[in-house]
């Protein structure tokens, strides 16, 4: 049977953290054998917020190195940089011309980012979902691994694709969302009501993948819990539930096994055990990252080859879209 094709992208802004890893990257790595995979460093999306050019380039290659270090296997998956394939931006313009203003104005991420960056509310930020739709639709993908916060954008991509197919003829495959049952939304250690974020200011908010063992232990010790004593999976106890969810994903143990393991023990035992599991999980990733990031020629070759592999798919989709709307 032909494997289903999936597409995922991640921005090269800030530093990749445990929430990114558990909510997205680990799932990409674990499912590589099941799908035809297209993974992208979406650096064009990043410039909706003003970036230092040298820093953006540096972060782009750092993120690519980290994805490879986490286990993206170039024998099973294509990895490339978004800006290396011009059809992303070109298709986004055609989609812009077929998305009603009302649909775009309802996107919650535009509202959130506008509040966070009031001095740079630009047209690109408003049109961000059109570029995301272009990323996905270019490659005729079956499924798109997304977190809950991106599901609205995928629904927009589906809507514009269906309308386009209806009005001009069959062009785009309609993608379906893939939302993992566990780990789709890892919360901040200092505020378990808020999703773990690259941009949060608190020093104990996120575990970054390059954090040292001492830093990881310190952050977990300071993680917010509650005044109760039992260690059980209870979604109303947000801080505890977040820690247990991380432990569940990384150990592969059932919830019953975990509750039994910590029965009669305090939060200190859980935080120590969790820190140890995270440290051991990140140790080989950090070692791989430092090795890969030094091999500049290898990294550039991987990204070039990844783009070469997927470019024919992107070009074929864009050329068909142009033809259907009457562009020469």
Task: Tell me what pLDDT residue 105 has.
Answer: 82
Q: Do the domains spanning 5-178+295-325 and 213-290 agree at the CATH topology level?
A: no
Task: Tell me what pLDDT residue 172 has.
Answer: 98
Selected residue with higher pLDDT from 281 and 128: 281
For range 133-153, the mean pLDDT? 88
Please give the model's pTM, rounded to 2 decimal places.
0.91
Tens-place pLDDT, residues 85-134 = 999 999 999 999 999 998 888 887 776 777 777 777 788 888 889 999 99
Q: Is the pLDDT of residue 7 over 90?
A: yes
Q: Is the pLDDT of residue 183 over 60?
A: no
Tens-place pLDDT, residues 66-75 = 999 999 999 9
Tens-place pLDDT, residues 283-322 = 999 999 999 999 989 999 999 999 999 999 999 999 999 9
Q: Mean pLDDT for the chain?
A: 92
Whether domain 5-178+295-325 has CATH 3.40.50.620: the reply is yes
Q: Please give the CATH architecture assigned to the domain spanning 213-290.
A: Orthogonal Bundle (1.10)
* Catalytic machinery residues: 113, 195, 198
For range 216-243, the mean pLDDT? 95
Annotated domain spans of the chain: 5-178+295-325, 213-290
Task: Tell me what pLDDT residue 123 has.
Answer: 84
For range 58-69, the mean pLDDT? 97
Task: Tell me what pLDDT residue 319 has.
Answer: 98
HSE-up (13 A, CA, CB side) for residue 283 = 9
Q: Is the pLDDT of residue 32 over 90?
A: yes
For residues 247 and 22, the answer to whether their CB atoms sit within 8 Å is no
Q: Residue 207: which pLDDT band, with cuts at 50, 70 and 90?
A: very high
């Amino acid at each position: 049977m032909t494997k289903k094709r999936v597409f995922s992208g991640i921005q090269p802004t800030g530093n990749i953290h445990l929430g990114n890893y558990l909510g997205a990257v680990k799932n990409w790595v674990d499912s590589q054998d099941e799908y035809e995979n297209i993974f992208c460093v979406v650096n064009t999306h990043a410039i909706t917020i003003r970036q230092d050019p040298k820093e953006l380039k540096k972060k782009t290659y750092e993120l690519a190195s980290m994805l490879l270090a986490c286990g993206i296997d170039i024998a099973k998956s294509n990895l490339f940089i978004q800006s290396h394939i011009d059809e992303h931006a070109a298709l986004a313009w055609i989609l812009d011309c077929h998305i009603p203003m009302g649909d775009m104005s309802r996107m919650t991420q535009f509202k959130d980012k506008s509040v966070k960056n009031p001095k740079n509310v630009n047209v690109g930020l408003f049109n961000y979902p059109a570029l995301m739709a272009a990323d996905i639709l270019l490659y005729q993908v079956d499924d798109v691994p997304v977190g809950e916060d991106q599901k609205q954008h995928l629904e927009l991509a589906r809507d514009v694709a269906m309308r386009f197919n209806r009005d001009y003829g069959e062009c785009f495959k309609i993608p379906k969302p893939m939302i993992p049952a566990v780990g789709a939304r890892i919360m901040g250690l200092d505020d378990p009501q808020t999703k773990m974020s690259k941009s949060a200011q608190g020093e104990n908010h996120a575990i970054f993948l390059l954090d040292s063992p001492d830093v990881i232990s310190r952050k977990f010790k300071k993680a917010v819990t509650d005044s109760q004593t039992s260690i059980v999976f209870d979604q109303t106890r947000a801080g505890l539930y977040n820690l247990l969810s991380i432990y569940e994903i990384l150990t592969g143990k059932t919830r019953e096994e975990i509750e039994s393991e910590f029965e009669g023990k305090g939060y200190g035992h859980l935080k120590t055990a969790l820190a140890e599991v995270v440290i051991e999980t990140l140790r080989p990733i950090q070692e791989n990252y430092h090795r890969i990031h030094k091999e500049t020629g290898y990294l550039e070759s991987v990204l070039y080859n990844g783009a070469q592999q997927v470019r024919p798919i992107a070009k074929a989709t864009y050329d068909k879209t142009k033809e259907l709307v009457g562009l020469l």
